[in-house]
């Protein structure tokens, strides 16, 4: 378990708003953000993106509390609430910060790390981790970076629960003791895999979109308006008309007199 370490960054209030102005800030190496206080009030700020990212890289989770010195105002203790990153580069695009009091408890999610190779996985089972964070209530100074759960003794069909997580008494765990953290599932049988896979050579069934209420087919709509059906509009003749227009073939050749 790692304990949160206080650090310091310097920023300033952000006056520029709007998509275009924010993009210009980012191109110049500035990261926009918002600081929220306990009263729900917000202050738009801007920080040096490189300094912020270097601070975050020194931590193994995003549970970071640091001193934010805003030019012209008092220094605040802030908690990194959320960081928006670029989907391709991972670059920090925007951050939300929560101003905290070091004497008031807060609720926070602590990342759960699994350690060890389960014996059930060695036997062919599959490790499943339905719970990724442990929600606790504690003072900001007592926040830890992560908790660990040893799953090396789990056989197939066995589960590790919240009750097996050892934390300091300063942290009040809010999750139920019997909630599953990790399990080793039995391997899927071959027939089950085959049943889930689509049959070879099958094609998806085409579903005809139903006509909306009050609508009719193309031909019916045309007739109702007094127009012609699509075939008639194109100048096509009905089968009976084609037969009448075609001259009859005479049987044999006429004899010359």
Mean pLDDT of the chain: 79
Mean pLDDT (whole number) for 172-195: 84
Q: Of 60-69, 78-87, 187-196, 205-214, where does mean pLDDT reach its minimum?
A: 205-214
DSSP 99-133: E--TTS-EEEEEEEEEES--HHHHTT-EEE----E
**In a shared domain, residues 11 and 94:** yes
Confidence (pLDDT) at 186 = 94
- Structural domain boundaries enclosing 112: 107-194
Of the two residues 124 and 244, the one the predictor is more confident about is: 124
Q: Of 1-10, 24-33, 204-213, where does mean pLDDT reach its minimum?
A: 204-213
CA–CA gap between residue 174 and residue 160 (Å, rounded):
17
Please report where in the chains the tokens 């934010």 appear, as a residue.
68
Of 144, 169, 194, at which residue does a domain stop?
Answer: 194
CA–CA gap between residue 120 and residue 153 (Å, rounded):
8
Of 168, 194, 220, at which residue does a domain stop?
Answer: 194
Task: Take residue 6 and report the two structure tokens written for it.
Answer: 């206080």
Instruction: Specify the CATH number for the domain of residue 171.
Output: 2.170.120.20
**In a shared domain, residues 127 and 146:** yes
**In a shared domain, residues 90 and 125:** no
The domain total for the chain is: 2
- Residue 95: closest CA among 43, 60, 137: 43
**In a shared domain, residues 33 and 67:** yes
Judge whether residue 20 has pLDDT over 60.
yes
Mean pLDDT (whole number) for 174-182: 96
pLDDT band at 228 (very low <50, low <70, confident <90, very high): very low
**Has residue 184 been placed in a domain?**
yes
CA–CA gap between residue 91 and residue 145 (Å, rounded):
22
Mean pLDDT (whole number) for 207-229: 45
Of 194, 227, 249, at which residue does a domain stop?
Answer: 194
CA–CA gap between residue 70 and residue 11 (Å, rounded):
5
Confidence (pLDDT) at 22 = 80
Instruction: Specify the CATH number for the domain of residue 57.
Output: 2.40.240.10
**Has residue 152 been placed in a domain?**
yes
Helix (H) or strand (E) segment spanning residue 25:
helix 19-27
Confidence (pLDDT) at 233 = 43
- CB-based contacts of 83-91 (< 8 A; 24+ apart in sequence): 83/56, 91/49, 91/53
Judge whether residue 133 has pLDDT over 70.
yes
Of the two residues 153 and 18, the one the predictor is more confident about is: 153
Mean pLDDT (whole number) for 11-40: 84
**Has residue 219 been placed in a domain?**
no
What strand order describes the sheet that includes 147-150? 147-150, 106-115, 133-138, 172-173
**In a shared domain, residues 184 and 126:** yes
CA–CA gap between residue 58 and residue 90 (Å, rounded):
16
**In a shared domain, residues 122 and 79:** no
**Whether 64 contacts 4, CB under 8 Å:** yes
**In a shared domain, residues 17 and 78:** yes
Task: Take residue 147 and report the two structure tokens written for it.
Answer: 């908790």
**Among the ranges 3-12, 20-29, 106-115, which has the highest mean pLDDT value?**
106-115
Mean pLDDT (whole number) for 118-135: 96
**In a shared domain, residues 135 and 183:** yes
Mean pLDDT (whole number) for 201-219: 48
pLDDT band at 163 (very low <50, low <70, confident <90, very high): very high
Judge whether residue 138 has pLDDT over 90.
yes
CA–CA gap between residue 166 and residue 178 (Å, rounded):
14
Confidence (pLDDT) at 176 = 96
**In a shared domain, residues 20 and 50:** yes
**Has residue 168 been placed in a domain?**
yes
**In a shared domain, residues 135 and 83:** no
Judge whether residue 245 has pLDDT over 50.
no
**In a shared domain, residues 14 and 88:** yes
Confidence (pLDDT) at 18 = 66
**In a shared domain, residues 94 and 111:** no
Confidence (pLDDT) at 21 = 74
């Amino acid at each position: 378990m790692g304990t949160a370490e206080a650090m310091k960054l310097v920023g300033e209030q952000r006056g520029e708003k709007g998509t275009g102005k924010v993009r210009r800030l980012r191109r110049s190496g500035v990261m926009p953000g918002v600081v929220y206080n306990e009263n729900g009030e917000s202050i738009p700020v801007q920080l040096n993106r490189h300094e912020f990212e270097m601070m975050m890289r020194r931590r193994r989770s995003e549970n970071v509390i640091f001193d934010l010195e805003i030019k012209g105002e008092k220094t605040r203790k802030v908690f990194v609430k959320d960081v928006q990153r670029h989907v391709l580069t991972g670059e920090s695009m925007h951050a939300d910060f929560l101003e905290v009091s070091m004497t008031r408890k807060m609720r926070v999610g602590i990342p759960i790390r699994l350690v060890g190779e389960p014996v059930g996985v060695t036997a062919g089972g599959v490790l499943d981790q339905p719970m990724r964070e442990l929600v606790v209530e504690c003072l900001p100074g007592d926040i830890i970076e992560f908790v660990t759960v040893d799953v090396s003794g789990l056989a197939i069909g066995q589960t590790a629960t919240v009750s097996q997580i050892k934390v300091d008494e300063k942290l009040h765990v809010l999750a139920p003791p019997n909630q599953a953290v990790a399990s080793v599932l039995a391997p899927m049988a071959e027939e089950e895999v085959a049943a889930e896979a689509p049959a070879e050579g099958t094609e998806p069934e085409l579903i005809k979109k139903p006509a909306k209420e009050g609508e009719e087919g193309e031909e019916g709509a045309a007739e109702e308006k007094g127009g012609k059906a699509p075939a008639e509009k194109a100048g096509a003749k009905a089968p009976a008309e084609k037969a009448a227009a075609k001259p009859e073939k005479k049987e044999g050749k006429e004899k010359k007199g």
